Amino acid sequence: SSVPQTEGKSKVVAGLLAIFVGAFGVHNFYLGYTGKGIAQLLLTLLSCFVLSFISGIWAFIEGILILTGEIKKDAYGVDLRE
């Protein structure tokens, strides 16, 4: 099992990952939300990209929520840093 880091992940990095490559769940893997990341990745890949717009919209919304501060913590409960 991995030990959470003492310094939080970057809010800007997480938000930009969500907006630009979020359909693959990259931002969720970055923040430690492996289950959500796998769900987005599988939705995109198993549909042969037909449903990638769904995971893309999902990720875009999460990216906006991260950048506006609505999502404040990673999967380990560590605050995201500016």
Can you give the pLDDT of all 82 residues of the chain as single tens digits? 566 556 899 999 999 999 999 999 999 999 999 999 999 999 999 999 999 999 999 999 999 999 999 999 999 999 999 9
Q: pTM of the prediction? A: 0.89
3-state SS assignment for residue 26: helix
Which whole-number Å values give the CA distances from 78 to 32, 45, 46, 56, in the listed order?
A: 11, 30, 32, 25
Cβ atoms of residues 79 and 24 within 8 Å: no
What does the alpha-carbon distance between residue 18 and residue 66 come to, in Å, rounded to a whole number? 9
Tokens for 31, please give them. 């923040």
